[in-house]
Amino acid sequence: MRYESLVKLVTSIVIISLSVSYTYAQKLVISDTLSWKNVISIENDENKVENILSFENYFQNNDNFLPVYRKKIEIPEQHSIKNLKIVNQKFEKITEIDSNLLTDVDKILNQLDINYGVSVFRKQYYAVIEFVPLVKNNFDGNVEKLVEFEIQLELESENLLKTTAAFVQNSKLNAGKWYKIKLEEKG
């Protein structure tokens, strides 16, 4: 009899813990590809022409004129990003001509520098992810462009406790008569 009740207890604990972990942690996987275009020339604030690589729906970073990938992903209300990874990355070398035209090549890192956070717009929560999809190859120093990848996003509930004001329904001050008194002197 004790063995059966112990098995029921352990089974109940496992089921409850699995349901709680599912409620509070959620994983999303988003696959994406980048359609790269030729180098384009743009004019900066100082009327100087900058050559940049671009891809479909790129975002322009005015600090270094490198193209930025930006993705906005709808997430459940009151969730935050617990962990984010870019996996299954496939890169292609850029042509030597494109490499020579690029300005700010010295600002390209040897790995993806990923920035992310949560934003709220019209009561909808979004995970916002940004990175420059260019890297320098560690072996030969050539610039490579990201063409295919997956975003692994792990979310967790923020467990925000909403506090409400507590009003006392019955107060000793509520009963009885009240009188207004005026004093002539201080003290």
* Residue 92 domain flag: yes
Domain extent for 81: 26-157
pLDDT for 87 equals 94
Q: What average pLDDT does the segment 114-136 reach?
A: 90
* Residue 108 domain flag: yes
Q: Is the pTM of this model over 0.85?
A: no
* Residue 91 domain flag: yes
pLDDT for 23 equals 47
The Cα–Cα gap between 187 and 179 comes to 20
pLDDT for 135 equals 93
Over residues 64-120, the pLDDT tens digits come to 778 889 999 998 888 888 899 999 999 999 888 777 777 777 888 899 999 998 888
* Residue 185 domain flag: no
* Residue 111 domain flag: yes
> What average pLDDT is seen over the chain?
78
Over residues 19-44, the pLDDT tens digits come to 444 445 688 898 999 988 877 787 77
The Cα–Cα gap between 35 and 121 comes to 28
Q: What average pLDDT does the segment 4-32 reach?
A: 62
* Residue 101 domain flag: yes
Contact (CB, 8 A) for 50 and 41? yes
Rg (alpha carbons) of the chain, rounded to whole number = 29
The domain total for the chain is: 1
* Residue 88 domain flag: yes
